Amino acid sequence: MLEKIFLKSNFTPEERWLLEELDGRIGSNCDFISLKTYESIFSKFDLKNKRIFDLGAGFLPISPQASEYIAALPSQNLNLIPVEINELRIRSWNLAKMENANPSESTINPVRGDMFKLPFPDESFDGGVSINVINNFRKLEAVPALLEEIRRVLKPGGFLILSSFGYYKCTKEGQVFYNNDFKENEIITSNLVQASAELVGFSRIERIPLDPAKIKAEAIRKEEIENRKSSDKTKVEMVEPFGLLLRR
């Protein structure tokens, strides 16, 4: 699908500023699910004329490396709806247009909204993704609340791809700390998410295999950043990365 996205050739001054902001936000891709795995998952579903949400979509991706799940989506007859509460991120998606736009082509229709109070009717989506959103929560009770709201907007048989790159566990001079000052009792595990999914009524839960090379590369990247800050060496490892396929 991603090859069908292109940026407009004529920009207003405001759009040009936004494009520069967007370019500055493109960094490493911490989605540890591979393109091949996404393609395998999507091949299990008939996505023709279907509505798919991206919950916590972030900024518009401008390369396959920035969003492999979008690259894996079919180019025909699909309505992708990025959902974000951040206005700047939603505006970045509005810079996208679909090549040769016509009824047979896929479309992108971003919506600003709160993920805990989605602005959609019950049973209005065929599927969705949420990538590296759930590991931003600090309250464990937010997990079942989010999954219950997602289940509400999914049609019977609808799917959710839910993934987390986990957390950076840093060890320096015998001291252990996590990114963004997370505490160990705040870490959201795959077991917690699976239990919460069962609790709110998802009928089927499958683990999605992750790419170990991606996980290792991200740990090395973060370690290099930390070690540029100080002469005291920091060891970084990724903890609790996971991917789950949930079905209503």
Chain center to CA of 155? 20
From residue 93, alpha-carbon distances to 64, 110, 195 in Å are 15, 6, 33
DSSP state letters, 181-239: G--GGGPPPHHHHHHHHHHHT-SEEEEPPP-HHHHHHHHHHHHHHHHHH-SS-EEEEEE
Angstrom distances, CA of residue 112 to CA of 107, 153, 167: 17, 16, 27
Q: Which fold has domain 2-166+188-211+240-247?
A: Rossmann fold (3.40.50)
pLDDT in tens, 76-108: 788 999 999 998 888 888 877 554 455 556 788
pLDDT tens readout for residues 165-204: 999 999 999 999 999 999 999 999 999 999 999 999 999 9
**Helix (H) / strand (E) containing 20:** helix 13-25
User: What residue spans of 26-104 are helical by DSSP H?
Assistant: 35-42, 68-72, 87-93
Give the Cα separation of 242 and 166 in Å (integer): 7
What digits encode the pLDDT tens for the residues 124-152? 999 999 999 999 999 999 999 999 999 99
pTM of the model: 0.89
Phi/psi for 69 (5° steps) reads -65, -40
pLDDT grade, residue 115 (50/70/90)? very high
Q: How far apart are CA 191 and CA 186, in angstroms?
A: 14
Residue extents of the structural domains in the chain = 2-166+188-211+240-247
